[in-house]
Amino acid sequence: MTKSDYDGPILEIENLSISFFTRAGEIPAVMDFSCTVMPGEAMGLVGESGCGKSTVALGVMQDLGVNGKVVGGTIKFKGRDLASFTPDELRDIRGSEIAMIYQEPMASLNPAMKIGKQLAEVPMIHEGASYADAITLALEMVEKVRLPDPQRILNSYPHQLSGGQQQRIVIAMALMSKPSLLILDEPTTALDVTVEAGIVDLVKELGETTGTSMLFISHNLGLVMDTCDRLCVMYSGEAVETGSIEDVFDHMRHPYTQALFRSIPLPGADKNARPLVAIPGNFPLPHERPPGCNFGPRCDYFVEGRCNVGVISMSDVPGKNRDRHESRCVKWDEIDWHAPIAAKVETEVTEPGDVILKIQDLKKYYEVSASALFSSGERRVVKANETLSFEAREAETLAIVGESGCGKSTLAKMLMGLETATDGAITLENKDIGNTEIEDRDTRTVADIQMVFQNPFDTLNPSHKVGDQIIRVLEKFGVGATVAERNEKMLELLDLVKLPREFAGRMPRQLSGGQKQRVGIARAFAGAPKIVVADEPVSALDVSVQAAVTDLLMEIQRVSRTTLLFISHDLSIVRYLADRVLVMYLGHIVELGTTDQVFSPPYHPYTEALLSAVPIADTKIKKKRIVLDGDIPSAMNPPSGCPFQTRCARKSSVPGNLCETQVPPMRILADGHQVKCHLSDDVLEQMEPVITIVAAE
Amino acid sequence: MLTFLLKRSWIMLLTALCLTAIVFFLTNIYPNLEKLAKTQGNMRMTDEQVERWLGDRGYLRPMVSRYGEWLGVMPGWTNTDEDGKFTGRCVNPDDTPETASRFCGVLQGDFGMSTVFKEEVGAIIVKKMGLTGMLMLWVMIVMIPMALIVGVLAGMKEGSRTDRSLSTFAITTTATPEYVSGVIFVVIFSSSMVGLKWFKGSAASAMNEITFENFTLPVMTIALYGMGYIARMTRASMAEVMTAQYIRTARLKGVSFPKIVLKHALRNALIAPFTVIMLQFPYLLTGVVIVETLFNYKGFGWTLVQAASNNDIEMLMGASIIAVIFVLVTQLISDIGYVYLNPRIRVS
């Protein structure tokens, strides 16, 4: 197929249905899905995991595997039905006309092949270029995706690059033969926010310069808003709403879209005054979909006899200035879309109590040998934590924010006693525990500091019943004297995390992700802990479940007056629930203060960049764009002086080479607000807020 | 890299020392020595005669000093009997006390005399290793390509008809022990029962000159047995690689299926089987015993069986050293080869 001058829609999907055929029978993954992508247009596909958005992408690629089949509808690429392509023709357009960017860059690059060779393959296959020409082209492309030292990169293997660099290579590979359609399947989910911001910028810019159409798949509404012109919201295999960004974001006409927006922490949400509204219930499994509207059982506007009968198809939402806006709801024109959120209980602000945890000059250094197999005895020191000092009070939520490698997990490990401190002290109610390993801690101390883990799927033993796993913890902590008492306590804990009591007899595999995380929370709160370390407790969960789990944590905390150390990279959720925030970068605390102090100027330059990097799904928000160069330096080889100086956008405002030579001192800006930065007071004074709300229409 | 090699050599030396010490101890406990005396001297020797026979030949002195002599760090024993006849560990028949060398052990390159074969152990090992080496070489030449081809073909499309038939073939060959397949081959290809008579049922003539006729059956017997195992490993590894995301990347880049298999999957799929292949070498060293016996090919395995059943101390000690060196050298090659196959591991 030649790249003809075709000016119709690049991609037309009409009533597409895709099913997977397994031993259990036919499982419909996508039903009645339609969308059109015009040349140069960026289309966003949004939805939670399992909603079928990736299946659509693989359908367009005609790569559904042995079990998947298109059972209805057509996918037309440049006016021609993809089903009519022969395998050879398909191979011809793959990589040259349609290219794809994947979620995990490390896994999608061949580990045993040099980057240059993998890139060169594309023009060699599709344009019959010679190896030398292909490499020249690859070099150009690597420069275009703004990677430093392209020659060296072409000669390296994927594992020698960082995650962000790998993703840039995957993008370069996709753009090697200037495709007409680029499919991006969660391209930044595996990356840190500041790296993500760089990738998003790059994709946007390349989209504009090359005029490539894009199909952008993501679960992150903010990201879609930043990158796309139109979007399509999917729920349980169906498109529920489609339209331009403005239409869907500001004038949504489907209850699911509305519920989704209400469950994500946008600026303005507050855990006490304006709590999030979680979507009740769970995502239906493909073989348990209800009749009628799939969202029916979880919908506030559900009407018996109308919403759960027959087939509901997409209907046009007419209106001035509306551009092909459609909704799959029978009641869209009856619902009052401007009604305020149904009264949610407002809660009192909890007053923090006494200092319960005190950390002073805490340090953790690791010694590692350079290579495991052929070690030559050379040892390096990784400074995972550098002189951390902070306090946490009873009933307070202290958020620890930072990207991968900033040392937040090391801090958690030291608190838990999985690692001991190299230097400094951790004081839990006047008892130094910094050098006591978990085996040597007494039961009370162990029960006092508990953890909720990031990945609920791996932290429950798959071969024990949920109830038994909670009882085991109770036994360990000496809660309850008899079996019956413990059993009773376990059932109370299930009540506490709002799980039905019959879940005690279930196996972890029978639970959804959100339910598993609730069990994890129950387990952590079993021994009446003083401190709970929540390590990214909701980041592995779907958006609609996140709100419910977050609220649950808050609610339990309010009652038990537990101190919550909330480790996260997601600033939106931190702003929503934290009382105080601690920002970490490469093992240092760079900023510490109350949530209001940290989220408004003056900022530490890193906090400023972090805030600007987080995509916010609100069209009324204006953001200052600060994109950091490069990647987070390795803790094995940290930069001299200020840890952030290699990427700092404000370094030029500091006279001399202070940043390169000296680690800045911790400065107190206001009561309880500390910043580790060399910037002078008047520069800090003049900082503007990163996020501003543009006056509502 | 150099430190790595030095480290490995050091380990090799240490292992060899430990192993030979154990073998020395086991072959020198009294019942074994008694057996040696009776097989070498006379089956109907009395206990006193056994004692004298062993005493004369220096077998009854402390074990530690004798191990030292074998190593060559202690002077060999000497003895002059009542007839004035001068004997000793390092004494040749026409030596006098003045001309005889004091040390004669492994360090001096002297592995001693084999009591069964009445020959220098060093010479026997060289000769027999040559014979077995030839057998191993041909087995590897036949087995590895066959195993890899079968494994890759089966693994590249998991669950397909090719996969199922090749897997069945591989399992069958591995499940058939060499002494069964060997006998079956002899019956089919060289007996008058079937009448094919393509090959010879004995490989004795192959010790002098290897021909297609006399060497095919022993090689096939070992190769088929080992092949199934490696093929299964390769298949599993290949099947796993074919589901990897980078294979999808390649497919959606427009790479054709044969090229995906050859350029993207093969190198990654060979990492696991490579270690297994290298482990086959030490196995073959002793695993050839059955086939060597079956086809009357007097190689290393056959020699080892003879030495063990006659408690041939010096021969067994020599064989132990060879075994240690062989295992560790193949493992060294395996580690280095692994590094070249897998770029994620690098010699620093």
pLDDT tens profile A535-553 = 888 877 777 788 888 888 8
Nearest to B254 among A96, A157, A371 (CB): A96
Q: What are phi and psi of B80, to 5 degrees?
A: -115, 115
A596 and A544 housed in the same domain:
no
Residues of B in contact with A125 (CB under 8 A): 253-256
Quickly tell me which residue has 């008892």 as its tokens: A431
Q: Above 80 in pLDDT, residue B95?
A: no
Give a yes or no: residue A377 inside a domain: yes
Question: A278 to chain B nearest CA, in Å?
Answer: 34
Q: Which of A235, A262, A282 is the last residue of a domain?
A: A235
Domain range holding A180?
11-235
**pLDDT confidence of residue B166:** 92
A-interface mutation test, from B3, B157, B246, B339, most A Cβ less than 10 A away: B246
In this complex, the residue of A102, A111, A374 whose CB is nearest that of residue B343 is: A111
Residues A531 and A621 in one domain: no
Q: Do B4 and A374 touch (CB under 8 A)?
A: yes
**What strand order describes the sheet that includes A588-594?**
A449-452, A531-535, A563-568, A397-401, A580-585, A588-594, A673-676, A666-670
- Where residue A346 falls among pLDDT bands split at 50, 70, 90? low
- Tell me which residue in B253, B268, B348 faces A112 most closely, judged by beta carbons: B268
B243 to chain A: closest CA residue: A65
Predicted confidence at residue A378, as pLDDT, reads 59
Report the candidate in A238, A230, A234 with the shortest Cα–Cα distance to residue A214.
A230
Residues of A with CB under 8 A from a CB of B: 61, 63, 66, 91-96, 99-100, 102, 104, 107-113, 121-122, 125-126, 157, 159, 170, 173, 370-371, 373-378
CA dist list (Å): B262 to B256, B259, B266: 10, 5, 5
Cβ contact B253–A122 (<8 Å): yes
Verify whether the Cβ–Cβ distance B346 to A371 is below 8 Å.
yes
Return the CATH number of B121-341, one of 3.40.190.10, 1.20.120.420, 3.30.920.30, 1.10.3720.10: 1.10.3720.10
Residues A420-449: pLDDT tens digits? Answer: 888 888 888 888 887 888 888 888 888 888
Q: Which residue of chain B has the CA closest to A89? A: B254
What is the number of structural domains in chain A? Answer: 3
Please tell me whether residues A471 and A596 are part of one structural domain: no
A104, A157, A374 member nearest B343 (Cβ): A157
Residue A470 near residue A527 (C-beta atoms within 8 A): no
CB pairs under 8 A between A and B: 92
Do A148 and A26 belong together in one domain? yes
Classified as helix, coil or strand, A530 is coil
> Nearest residue on chain B to A110, judged by CA atoms?
B246
Measured between beta carbons, the chain B residues lying within 8 angstroms of A122 are 253-254
Minimum distance, in Å, between the CA of residue A82 and any CA atom of chain B: 14
CA angle A277, A280, A285 (to 5 degrees): 135
User: Is the per-residue pLDDT at A69 higher than 50?
Assistant: yes
The answer, yes or no, to whether residue B347 has pLDDT greater than 50, is: no
- Domain shared by A127 and A202, yes or no: yes
A677 and A634 fall within a common domain: yes
pLDDT value for A293: 84
Cis-peptide, bond into residue A633, ω within 30° of zero: no
For residue B348, list chain A residues with Cβ-Cβ distance below 8 A. Answer: 370-371, 374-376, 378
Total H helices, total E strands in chain B = 14, 2
Q: What is the pLDDT of residues A616-634, one digit of tens each?
A: 888 777 888 887 877 777 7
- Kindly tell me if the per-residue pLDDT of A695 is higher than 80: no
Q: If you measure CA to CA, which chain B residue comes closest to A114? A: B343
Q: Which residues contact B209 (CB under 8 A, 6 or more apart)?
A: none
Domain ranges of chain B: 121-341
Per DSSP, the three-state class of A397 is: strand
Using a CB–CB cut-off of 8 Å, the residues of B that contact A are: 1, 3-4, 159, 244-246, 248-256, 263-264, 267-268, 335, 339, 341-348
Residue B1: list chain A partners with CB under 8 A.
374
Residues of A in contact with B249 (CB under 8 A): 100, 102, 108-110, 170, 173
Cα B4 from Cα A356, distance rounded (Å): 51
Query: Could you tell me which of A672, A631, A676, A632 has the C-alpha nearest to residue A658?
Result: A676
Whether A570 is in a domain gets the answer no
CA–CA distance from B274 to each of A437, B283, B337 (Å)?
42, 15, 8
Res. A280 pLDDT band, cuts 50 70 90: confident
Q: Which segment, B83-87, B204-208, B249-253, is predicted with the most confidence on average? A: B249-253
CB neighbourhood size of A465 (10 A): 16
Residue A80 lies in a domain: yes
The Cα A180–Cα A174 span in angstroms is 11
Residue environment code for A531-550, b if the CB has 16+ CB neighbours within 10 A, otherwise e: bbbbbbbbebbbbbbbbbbb
Residue A4: its pLDDT value, please? 55
pLDDT-derived band at B150 (thresholds 50, 70, 90) equals very high
Question: Does the beta-carbon distance from A109 to B335 stay under 8 Å?
Answer: no
Residue pLDDT, tens place only, A106-161:
888 998 888 999 999 888 888 888 899 999 989 988 888 878 788 888 988 888 88
For residue B244, list chain A residues with Cβ-Cβ distance below 8 A: 107
Contacts of A604 (CB under 8 A, 6+ apart): A583, A590, A591, A644, A675, A676, A677
CATH assignment of the domain containing A86: 3.40.50.300
Nearest to A554, CA basis, from A395, A392, A357, A345:
A395
If asked whether residues A623 and A481 sit together in one domain, one would say: no
Radius of gyration, CA atoms only, chain A: 26
Query: B342 vs chain A: nearest CA distance in angstroms?
Result: 6
Q: Would you place residue B235 in the very low, low, confident or very high pLDDT band (cuts 50, 70, 90)?
A: very high
In this complex, the residue of B244, B249, B254 whose CB is nearest that of residue A125 is B254
Cβ contact B245–A126 (<8 Å): no
A387 and A435 housed in the same domain: yes
- Based on the domain organization, do A128 and A218 belong to the same domain? yes
> Where is B321: in which H helix or E strand?
helix B313-341
- Which among A219, A235, A251 is the end of a domain? A235
ipTM: 0.75
| Pair A104, A169 in one domain | yes
Sign of CA dihedral A199, A204, A205, A207: positive
Give CA–CA dist B39/B32, Å, rounded: 11
- Pair A539, A588 in one domain: no
Residue of B157, B253, B341 for testing the chain A interface, max A β-carbons within 10 Å = B253
Q: With residue A217 as reference, give the H or E element that holds it.
A: strand A213-218
C-alpha to C-alpha distance for A512 and A259, rounded to whole angstroms: 20
Check whether residue A532 and residue A605 sit in a common domain: no
Per-residue pLDDT averaged across B28-55, rounded?
83
Q: What are phi and psi of A11, to 5 degrees?
A: -135, 130
Has residue A287 got a pLDDT over 70? yes
Confidence of residue B168 (pLDDT cuts 50, 70, 90): very high
Cβ contact (<8 Å) for A91 and B254? yes
Check if the beta carbon of residue A577 is closer than 8 Å to that of residue A551: no
For chain A, the residue count is 697
Which residue, among B82, B39, B206, has the nearest Cα to B134 in the 3D structure?
B206
Q: Around Cβ A18, how many Cβ atoms within 10 Å?
A: 24
Predicted confidence at residue B348, as pLDDT, reads 39
Burial class (CB in 10 A: 0-12, 13-18, 19+), B47: exposed
Residue at A92: amino acid letter: D
B255 CB neighbours in chain A (<8 A) are: 91, 95, 121, 125
Write down the mean pLDDT value for chain A.
83
d(CA A427, CA A425): 6
Is residue A621 assigned to a domain? Answer: yes
CA distance A615 to chain B (A): 28
- What are phi and psi for residue A582, nearest 5 degrees? -125, 120
Instruction: Determine, for residues A109 and B347 on separate chains, whether the beta-carbon distance falls below 8 Å.
Output: no
Task: Say if A315 falls within a structural domain.
Answer: no
d(CA A299, CA A320): 28
Instruction: Give the pLDDT confidence score for residue A370 in this predicted structure.
Output: 52
Does A191 score more than 90 pLDDT? no
* Contact check, Cβ <8 Å, A111/B268: yes
Interface test with B, best of A109, A110, A155 (most B CBs within 10 A): A110
